Structure 1
Amino acid sequence: MFEELKNINEKPGPFEFYTARDLWTDEYTSQKMLEYHLDESIDASSRNIKFIEESVSWIVSLHNLDSDSDLIDFGCGPGLYTNRFAEKGINVTGVDFSKRSIEYAQKIAAELGLDVDYIHQNYLDFTTQGKFDVITMIMCDYCALSPNQRRIMLGKFRRLLKAHGKIILDVHSLNYFNKKEEFSAYELNQLDHFWSAEDYYCFVNCFKYNPEKVTLDKYTIIEASGRKRVVYNWLQCFCVTSLKDEFERNGLRIDNVYGDVAGRDYDPQSPEFAVVVRKK
């Protein structure tokens, strides 16, 4: 028992483990994630619906997108952004790891008579010959990737952009990192049975990595049946300078910095910020 508890509370190296597949492909948790996405009143897996509508309008207006424009959204989820872009006549592609989310997005698109190219795939593995006017990665998805995974994505972004194309994404700031506190806790059926339909105990360990400016929420789920899972939720935090340097090293440059992907003014005290990026 002591060794088991020791393993549960052990702090791994930064981005040592990657468990996105377990989170997004598990039959039960993928359904719970979809429910979170579709709750229009909260900012959980997706932004609230009012923010999404503001964000779509701002992105379309900022880049003068129309029926001749091509947009791809990495981590599109159940199509909350992509279907709205398509409603404005834009040619849209959505890529997501969750089969359940993609199927929901396709269902809504079909009901609305929208022609959206939805692709069920890990976007780290995604390839296409297409080129795009706008690439989006929203809800701080970029922060969940390791340094090597981010290099893969930035190389992909650069290849997929048209000559004057733009990338729009948001990230967690150093203010988020500084306010995050380390803790350990456990709870019966944590998050109202989010992890399993059967009873379980969930051990939660929040770790911070100061030199790297990375946080980790480590979830160890032990079900009544004896099944055990560990899910690692990594978040890389940035300041404007560190994000700028990362893009520069990968042939990209930041055009503008905003408070969020709805175009609000940048606030140095905010827990997140957004950038518009182009090729160097």
Structure 2
Amino acid sequence: MYTQLKEINHKPKAFEFYTADSLWADPHTSKQMLSYHLNEDVDLASRNKVFIEKSIDWIVSHFSIGEKTKICDFGCGPGLYSSGLARTGAKVTGIDFSKNSIEYAKEYAKKENLDINYVLQNYLGYEAEEQYDIIIMIMCDFCALSPVQRKLMLEKFHRLLKDGGRILLDVYSLKGFEERTETSLYEHNQLYGFWSSNDYYGFLNTFKYEDEKVVLDKYTIVEEQGSKVVYNWLQYFSEDTLLHELKDAGFKIEAMYDDVAGSNYSKNNTEFAVIAEKQS
């Protein structure tokens, strides 16, 4: 028991493990995530309905999106943004590796007569000959990636964008990092059965990495037939660190905002959003 508890409370190196499939591709947890996506009143897997509608209106206006605009939505989930953007007549591609989310998105698009290309794939491996005018990555998905993965992702964005194409993404700020605290929690059927349909015990260890400005929520799920560990990494950014990563990948920051709905940049929010343009 002591050895097991020691392992549960062990702090790994920053981004040492990658277990995104345990959250997004597992049949049980992906259903739970879809239900959070579709809950219009909370900001969990997706932001609330009012914010999303405001955000889509701002994106359409700011980027002058119309029928000739080609957009790629990385981490599209059940298509909440993809659907709204496609209503303008834009040609939209959505990528996600949650089968439940993509199936829902396809059914919704069919019902609403929206022509959207949905791709069931981990976006880290996505490639296409087509080039886009705009790439979006929303809900701070960029922060869940390791430095190596972010570098590869930005290089991918650069390849997939037309000359002068732009990306819109949001990230967690250093203010958000300061507000996080290290904790150790234990709960029977943690998060109301989120992790399994079977009886289980859940441990949550939250670790902070001061030098890297990274937070890890480490979930250890113990069932009668075995256990699993899910590592949820979150990178927090200063303006300079994000600027450096974008510049190295061939992008120039066009504008910064408090969020992806175009709120004025206050430097006092737990998140911030950037628009960056591809440089030749």
The normalised TM-score by structure 2 is 0.98
The unaligned stretches of length 5 or more in structure 1 are none
**AA partner of residue 128 (structure 2):** T
For residues 159-184 of structure 1, the C-alpha deviation after alignment (integer angstroms, 9 at most, x for no partner) is: 11111211000000001111100011
Whichever residue aligns with residue 248 of structure 1, its letter is: K
Amino acid at match of 2:156: K
Aligned alpha-carbon RMSD (Å):
0.7
Map of 1:254 onto structure 2: 253
How do residues 191-202 of structure 1 correspond to structure 2 at under 5 angstroms?
191-202=191-202
TM-score, L = length of structure 1: 0.98
What is the SS of the residue equivalent to 2:154?
Answer: helix
Secondary structure of the residue that 2:80 maps to in structure 1?
A: coil
Residue 52 in 1 paired to residue 34 in 2? no
Shift of 1:145: 0.1
Q: Which amino acid aligns with 1:29?
A: T
Mapped to 1, the partners of 2:81 and 2:113 lie a distance apart of: 16
Distance 1:260 1:22 in 2: 28
Distance in 2 of aligned mates of 1:67 and 1:184: 50
For residues 226 and 5 of structure 1, what CA distance do their matches in structure 2 show?
A: 18
Quote how far apart the aligned CAs of 1:6 are: 0.3
The corresponding residue for 2:130 is 130
SS across alignment from 2:124: coil
CA distance in 1, matches of 2:266, 2:183: 28
Alignment map for 1:62-77 (pairs within 5 Å): 62-77=62-77
SS at match of 2:150: helix
Identity %: 53
Which letter maps to 1:88?
T
SS in 1 for 2:123: coil
Determine whether 1:114 maps to 2:83.
no
Q: Report the Cα offset of residue 35 of structure 1.
A: 0.3
Instruction: Tell me which stretches of 4 or more aligned residues in structure 1 moved more than 2 Å.
Output: none
Structure 2 portions without partners, runs of 5+: none
Give 1:29's aligned residue: 29
Q: How many residues align?
A: 279
Q: Distance in 1 between matches of 2:131 and 2:26?
A: 32
The CA distance in 2 between the partners of 1:186 and 1:177, in whole Å, is 23
Deviation at 1:226, TM superposition (A): 2.5
Provide the residue aligned with 2:275 in structure 1. 276
Counterpart residue number, 2:96:
96
Taking the aligned partners of 1:144 and 1:158, their CA distance within structure 2 comes to 20
Letter in 1 for 2:234: L
**What is the deviation of 1:128?**
0.1
Letter in 2 for 1:189: N
CA distance in 2, matches of 1:201, 1:63: 47
Shift of 1:227: 2.3
